[in-house]
Copies of this chain bind each other. A is one copy, B any other.
Amino acid sequence: MPAQAATESETGYLPEPARAEIRLEKVLSALSDPLRLNIVRAYLLDAGGVERSCSWFAIDRPKSTRTHHWKVLRESGIMRQRMVGLEKRNTVREEDLDARFPGLLDLVRAWEPEAE
């Protein structure tokens, strides 16, 4: 759970590994899938550091597949998620990942999807 004590407006956070529990091999595995890598990259480059809903970034997949990928990203410790009403708000755990794996998120920012 995020560092500060939960208040009313901060409840609804989904379970996530603590900073010290984030494993490099889990993060690398999550990011090795181009679809997830693209999601994280979009949040880093275009979300402006604020929470965005799942539908903010269009994922060309059925809902169940999207749910699967968001779960992988959260459980690996890359994304933080909380429910607000109907929708899930997501952010990249930039502070945690920069502390644990300095430079990794810069590589994600610099990555470009392979041309079709």
Residue numbers of A with Cβ under 8 A of B are: 23-26, 28-29, 31-34, 37, 101-104, 106-107, 111, 114
B111 and A107: CB pair below 8 A? no
Interface centre among A24, A31, A111 (most CB of B within 10 A): A24
Copies of the chain in the assembly: 2
CA distance A25 to B102 in the complex (A): 18
Closest to A111 in B: B24
Chain A binding surface SS class: helix
Q: Given that A102-B103, A104-B103 are contacting pairs, would A28 and B25 also be in contact in the complex, using a CB cutoff of 8 Å?
A: no
A23 and B107: CB pair below 8 A? no
List residues of chain B with CB within 8 A of the CB of A106: 102-103
List residues of chain B with CB within 8 A of the CB of A104: 103-104, 107
Out of B23, B31, B102, B103, which one reaches A28, CB within 8 Å?
Answer: B31
Q: Return A34 CB to nearest CB of chain B, in Å.
A: 5
List residues of chain B with CB within 8 A of the CB of A31: 25, 28
Closest 10 CB pairs of A and B: A103-B103, A29-B32, A28-B32, A28-B28, A24-B111, A101-B107, A28-B31, A32-B32, A25-B34, A25-B32
